[in-house]
Amino acid sequence: MEDLIVIKDLSYTYHSYRKENYVFDEFNISFTKGKVVGLLGPNGSGKSTLIKLMNGLLSPTKGEILIHGHKPGVETKAVVSYLPERTYLQAGKTVKQMLDYFEDFYQDFDKGRARQMLQNLGIDEKAPLKTLSKGTREKVQLILVMSRRALVYILDEPIAGVDPAARDYIIRTIIQNYNEEAVVLLATHLITDVESILDEVVFIKNGKVILQSSVDEVRETHHKSIDAYFREVFAC
Partner 1 sequence: MWDLEANRPIYLQIAERIELQICSGEYQAGDKISSVRELAQEAGVNPNTMQRALQELERKGIIVTFRTSGRTVTEDKERIRDLRNHMAREQIQDFLKKMKEMGFEKEEILEFIREEKGEE
Which chain residues interact with partner 1 by CB under 8 A?
34-36, 168, 171-172, 175-176, 192, 195-199, 215-216, 219-220, 223-225, 227-228
Exposed / middle / buried, residue 70 (Cβ in 10 Å: 0-12, 13-18, 19+): middle
Exposed / middle / buried, residue 194 (Cβ in 10 Å: 0-12, 13-18, 19+): buried
Q: How far is the CB of 223 from partner 1 (least distance, A)?
A: 5
Phi and psi (nearest 5°) for 19? -135, 165
Q: How far is the CB of 103 from partner 1 (least distance, A)?
A: 26
Q: How far is the CB of 49 from partner 1 (least distance, A)?
A: 27
What gap in Å lies between CA 212 and CA 215, rounded to an integer?
A: 9
Nearer residue to partner 1 within complex by CB, 55 or 188? 188
Nearer residue to partner 1 within complex by CB, 55 or 177? 177
What gap in Å lies between CA 49 and CA 55, rounded to an integer?
A: 10
Q: How far is the CB of 196 from partner 1 (least distance, A)?
A: 5
Q: How far is the CB of 224 from partner 1 (least distance, A)?
A: 5
Q: How far is the CB of 38 from partner 1 (least distance, A)?
A: 11
Do 98 and 91 contact (CB within 8 A), yes or no? no
Q: CA end-to-end span of the chain, whole Å?
A: 37
Nearer residue to partner 1 within complex by CB, 62 or 224? 224
Nearer residue to partner 1 within complex by CB, 125 or 195? 195
Q: Specify the 3-state DSSP secondary structure of 208.
A: strand
Nearer residue to partner 1 within complex by CB, 9 or 216? 216
Nearer residue to partner 1 within complex by CB, 66 or 197? 197
How many other CB atoms are there within 10 angstroms of residue 173's CB atom?
20
Nearest CA to 30 out of 74, 67, 79, 71 is that of 67
Tell me the β-bridge partners of 15. 20
Residue type, 130: K
